[in-house]
Structure 1
């Protein structure tokens, strides 16, 4: 299975790519969808709790920005640690421990009693959330065949995004009940602990990861078991694997390769793309409830509007299904980001309550189409030995940028007014689409190691 030059013979990846969708893939879809459901719900909890904290704790917009920034600083740390951990110990173990970590600290959020305490706890919770995201994206990219990995990433994200409207409507019910109603939002975010237990008992390790670590016999057992089940079901042998993908064996995680001559352009371009994407995404979603209150709406009406707008998230991610593998990630991202920029500016003009809802819904919907495309694209452009740390580093820089992003939005709103926030968000999306279209690599329906080479 390994030649003298340190390369595998490439059959493991080729066998994964020729598999039809199996019961194992269905388990992956179900469990990762549930993990993302609770993680994405938790990610948005502070946005829904913030209006109540502004009212009962008398927090300023600037203080809210500090808490949001602390959360994103934690996500930056989590992306780096989680990416390195998943490349070192495996995708499955990283998924389990990161899910346990963020779920436990989500519960701790519910018992905080000060803004300073929230800053600390949201920082730690952010570490677990982003570590889980990086591990999950890498796992999906490696476990699904190359021709369909984009659509199944969008399906998993689409189901997981149900966590946002679930959390939004739950917040709509509990937050207005009194000074401590917001605490129940974080309690719900801790339910990911239930799913973490199922990961260990139902999901195998990625055969691709096992291969680069020299654990070829274990990878062989996993694939042979899948192939036997499939052949028994279809009544015939599977075709011989084609398009072999040799990989460089590596016991360590060669982080320095991210900045080698071969990969540094990809690392830099994708890092800037993620910075722009995160600044734009959270410049819109994290601030909608609070800015509506500051603009004169009641807390109840602000949460109602936010809850309605959030429903667009699920169809938005699913919209990526028919386009991601057919038209490609980078081409689709350019078109989607242009449309988002237009919708965001029209939302910020606030002609009436109807236009706020319509353009808010469209913005929220297409933001998740963009996210599904970018989530699929990110782990695809790095080789298996640094796939997770590459995804973590680039994604993490976007999260780090948003440490300042929360303060930046607060400053723009304070000095230039409501509409200026949405102009800033629209510009970020336009630059993101142009950059990835001009300098990104094509990944759809291509073998992972061939993309990396």
Structure 2
């Protein structure tokens, strides 16, 4: 029995070491491309409502209260989906959860495009949210486990760069299609674009390998060996060279994924840290992202102006994650989060005072740049804090708080907006300053450390 335990621990250490030694090559780029494509449609779906929501309100399909409920319903679905599928990927695998989630949100977004009234749309957005909910947490977990630690933050950030290019695309689609009424109302075509593309990516993702780290932890040693050997063969073929020696990495084995483990003394502090972090950060990120065109309508701009300004602001969306790609391995991620949260709070206070077109676009663009740079860093950071056996459970559970935060903060934003845009930005700025103080005081350092070392 003792001998079996030692062999089991060495096998797991071997998987981590074998991944760590791999030179970055074509295999990693193909893997990230497929992952990022799925993330692209996730971002498209999440931010879509901000742009077509303004059109729905303007046309009378939704009232402002119904729009609030639609946003809240989508994030309620995401809240449940993040917990269920986050834990599910620890039970059934990263790849399996990935494919299933993508299929769910594609189907219900497709049905949402044909909703006959506000209440049908609200229900369908909640169901689509089940699939969308854990997508980003599984991406963070999957990528973190599949690439060497020296490029972990950069590769997670690359998925964010690709994902955030969806925002200018959906903004442009809304700008061009919303005014049309060819067979269907324009906003319905915007939804159909997202649903159709995701089905294509679902086909592509059949080529993804399972995480060898997860397979070992799950006790599927022959599968882990087969997948890892296939990956190593691809790397050898790509680099035309033999692989370096396997470094010795100690890995602690344990029980299967359980929420209970998150509250054990070793991880309780990190669980609470990320839970409060996500409760606050979402107010800053989605407060602006979900409401930007509506803010402009509230300031007296026309629907056309709101969509045009929204599109111009959205053009800078990929720039923030791109800056993260270039800097994330140079600067400690903990302190990058602190600085960027503070810059979000400061730049957000300029937007309510913008009046002319260039002021609106410039202040919105600066806020967007800092916001999505922050987002890219946080997605790399959160996946580093838990061990492989409960990584998706830990990230999924704490990240679900961000979805709950949107549900709670959306009505608050709606009420504050009745008193003008400035109170909304004061609310969001206070939340981001809270994030900066929290991470500065309690956030651990993670850069360039092997996952097994960070989570020890």
- State if a TM-score over 0.5 links the two structures: yes
For residue 332 of structure 1, the aligned residue among 336, 339, 357 is: 336
For residue 368 of structure 1, the aligned residue among 368, 372, 385 is: 372
For residue 282 of structure 2, the aligned residue among 266, 278, 282 is: 278
| Structure 1 range deviating more: 212-221 or 438-447 | 212-221
Matched, 1:263 2:267: yes
- Matched pairs, number: 450
User: Which runs of 5 or more structure 1 residues have no equivalent in the other structure?
Assistant: none
Q: Distance in 2 between matches of 1:2 and 1:138?
A: 28
Q: Distance in 1 between matches of 2:69 and 2:319?
A: 31
For residue 227 of structure 2, the aligned residue among 211, 222, 227 is: 222
What's the counterpart of residue 241 of structure 1? 246
For residue 157 of structure 1, the aligned residue among 160, 167, 171 is: 160
For residue 353 of structure 2, the aligned residue among 349, 353, 364 is: 349
Q: Distance in 1 between matches of 2:428 and 2:365?
A: 16
Q: Distance in 1 between matches of 2:444 and 2:382?
A: 11
Q: TM-score, normalised by structure 1?
A: 0.96
User: SS of the residue aligned with 2:276?
Assistant: helix
Q: Distance in 1 between matches of 2:231 and 2:32?
A: 16
What's the counterpart of residue 200 of structure 2? 194
1:365 Cα deviation from its structure 2 partner: 1.4
Q: Map Cα deviations across residues 244-287 of structure 1 (whole Å, 9 max, x no partner).
A: 1313144x322210111111110011111111111111111110
Change (3 A) 1:6 1:341: same
Matched, 1:13 2:16: yes
Q: Map Cα deviations across residues 32-82 of structure 1 (whole Å, 9 max, x no partner).
A: 111111110111111111112112226332221111111111110010011
User: SS of the residue aligned with 2:219?
Assistant: coil
1:351 Cα deviation from its structure 2 partner: 3.9
What's the counterpart of residue 409 of structure 1? 413
What's the counterpart of residue 189 of structure 2? 184
User: SS of the residue aligned with 2:265?
Assistant: coil
Q: Distance in 2 between matches of 1:318 and 1:245?
A: 33
User: SS of the residue aligned with 1:204?
Assistant: coil
User: Which runs of 5 or more structure 2 residues have no equivalent in the other structure?
Assistant: none
What's the counterpart of residue 137 of structure 1? 140
Q: Distance in 1 between matches of 2:321 and 2:175?
A: 23
Change (3 A) 1:359 1:244: same
What's the counterpart of residue 111 of structure 1? 114
Q: Distance in 2 between matches of 1:40 and 1:64?
A: 19
Q: Map Cα deviations across residues 117-168 of structure 1 (whole Å, 9 max, x no partner).
A: 1211111111101122222111001001001010111111101211111111
| Structure 1 range deviating more: 34-43 or 4-13 | 4-13
| Structure 1 range deviating more: 129-138 or 6-15 | 6-15
Tell me, yes or no, if the aligned pair for 1:11 and 1:246 is still in contact at 8 Å.
no
Alignment of 1:380-395 (within 5 A): 380-395=384-399
Q: Distance in 2 between matches of 1:2 and 1:390?
A: 28
Q: Map Cα deviations across residues 403-432 of structure 1 (whole Å, 9 max, x no partner).
A: 011101001111x32111111111111111
1:296 Cα deviation from its structure 2 partner: 0.8
Matched, 1:211 2:216: yes
Tell me, yes or no, if the aligned pair for 1:214 and 1:249 is still in contact at 8 Å.
no
